[in-house]
Amino acid sequence: MSARYVEALERVGRVRGIRGALLVHAEDGLVVAEALLEEVDARALAALSAGLVARLRRSAGHAGLRPPAFVHLRGEGGMLLAVPAPDDLLVVAIADSDANVGLARLEMLEAAGRLG
């Protein structure tokens, strides 16, 4: 795993309430790098993230809008956060319900910028 990938994931993972982070290939939903807790299925999370972002991109395009710069999906047990990155990657984080989403967003955008 590339040192820049490790650094990007570690920074995101230090945010309060983040349970793990991964880099996902946006087109095919494959895991490129991960720093997740053991109970999280990285492959399922990667596939969900890539599919969700792809659908949002298409929907935004059909509506004449720009693609999303930050995706926040909230569920009963926590949140999925995703940010597009260069080279057709996504920075994805899974977070507890009480996570600091604002700081997570900043770190994820910063990580995405460093990957370019």
The answer, yes or no, to whether residue 38 has pLDDT greater than 80, is no
- In this predicted structure, the answer to whether residue 6 has a pLDDT above a threshold of 90 is no
pLDDT, residue 1, reads: 59
Residues 6+ positions from 56 with CB-CB distance below 8 Å: 67, 68, 71
- DSSP class of 99: -
Q: What share of the chain is helix, strand, coil (3-state, %, to 5)?
A: 40, 30, 30
C-alpha 31/C-alpha 91 separation (Å) is 10
pLDDT digits (tens, 9 = 90+) for 44-61: 999 999 999 999 999 999
CATH 3.30.450.30: does it fit domain 3-114? Answer: yes
User: Percent of the chain beyond pLDDT 70?
Assistant: 98
CB atoms < 10 A from the CB of 112, how many?
Answer: 22
44 contacts: CB under 8 Å, gap ≥ 6 = none
Q: pTM of the full predicted structure?
A: 0.92
Residue 38 or residue 4, greater confidence: 4
Phi, psi of 36 (to 5 degrees): -120, 160
* Whole-number pLDDT of residue 81: 97
Domain layout of the chain by residue ranges = 3-114
